Amino acid sequence: MAQLSLDLGHRASFSGEDFLIAPCNQAAVAWLDRWPDWPGPGLAVYGPPGCGKTHLAHVFQAGALRAGVGARLLSPADLGRAEPPALVGAARAVTLDGGPPLPERALLHLYNFIAERGGHLLLLSRQPPARWTVHLPDLASRLSAMPAVAIEPPDEVLTGALLVKLFADRQLAVPPEVIGYLTPRLERSFEAMRRFVDAIDRESLARHRNITLPLARELVERDRSR
């Protein structure tokens, strides 16, 4: 995965999207950069909702395809629909996006199938697999041995960069003073920032006005008074 040089790191994904690199996600990015030289057939990436796990998974999938390796992205609901050969096909890079509750025997068979063909399984969840409640001993041992890397909540630098990106994704040009005001005042979570950008976008449309510092201040103070 190529890296472009900006203040905090700016990664162009293989799908054409951007992935912002900061201390909170550097470890996860470094692990994906090591692929396929992982110490085992599996890797878990965990973190809060909206932290970028799924985005990273698409980067991983696209990188595998560029390397000439089949890739497949699965959801927990897929596990019970077919046996691993039908689910995975020829793919050697498989991502399962979603944590427990999962059908344990189906997950064990998927893990074993991928390991036997020399492929890799990327697990995405809110908690590391070693903390999952697992009743099947063979699956529990495999998950406990799997490397797990966290994506932490964003720091102030990434918060500002993410706000810029979230507004840009909506084709909104926001004055720098708005970003500067919001960065230290919004909850340090990806999901909270997305909700706020959505709310202020809707508010500006309803009022037929641009996003300004007074509007941003009004919405922040309104949220605090609730």
Smallest Cα–Cα separation from 43: which of 95, 100, 108?
Answer: 95
pTM of the entire predicted model: 0.77
> Tokens 């395809």 appear where?
65
One digit per residue, the tens of pLDDT, for the chain of length 226 reads 333 223 334 343 334 356 778 888 999 999 999 999 999 999 999 998 878 888 888 888 888 988 898 899 999 999 989 999 999 999 999 999 998 999 999 999 999 999 999 999 999 999 999 899 999 999 999 999 999 999 988 888 888 988 998 999 899 989 999 999 999 999 887 888 889 999 999 999 999 999 999 999 999 999 888 7
| pLDDT recorded at residue 4 | 27
Residue 150 tokens, joined: 């966290």
Which stretches does DSSP call E strand in 156-216? none
Q: If you ran DSSP here, which 8-state letter would residue 153 be given?
A: P
SS3 of the chain: helix, strand, coil, percent, to 5:
50, 15, 40
4 dihedral zone (left: phi>0; alpha: psi -120 to 50; beta) = beta
| pLDDT recorded at residue 16 | 36
Omega of the bond leading into 36 within 30 degrees of 0 (cis): yes
The helix (run of H) or strand (run of E) holding residue 12 is: strand 10-12
Instruction: Supply the CATH classification number for the domain 156-225.
Output: 1.10.8
| pLDDT recorded at residue 34 | 94
| pLDDT recorded at residue 149 | 97
Q: If you ran DSSP here, which 8-state letter would residue 130 be given?
A: G
| pLDDT recorded at residue 10 | 35
Contacts of 50 (CB under 8 A, 6+ apart): 189, 190, 191, 194
Instruction: Supply the CATH classification number for the domain 24-150.
Output: 3.40.50.300
- Give the span between the Cα atoms of 136 and 112, in whole angstroms: 14
Alpha-carbon distances of 32 from 41, 58, 116, 151, rounded to whole Å: 13, 11, 21, 13
Domain ranges across the chain: 24-150, 156-225
| pLDDT recorded at residue 18 | 62
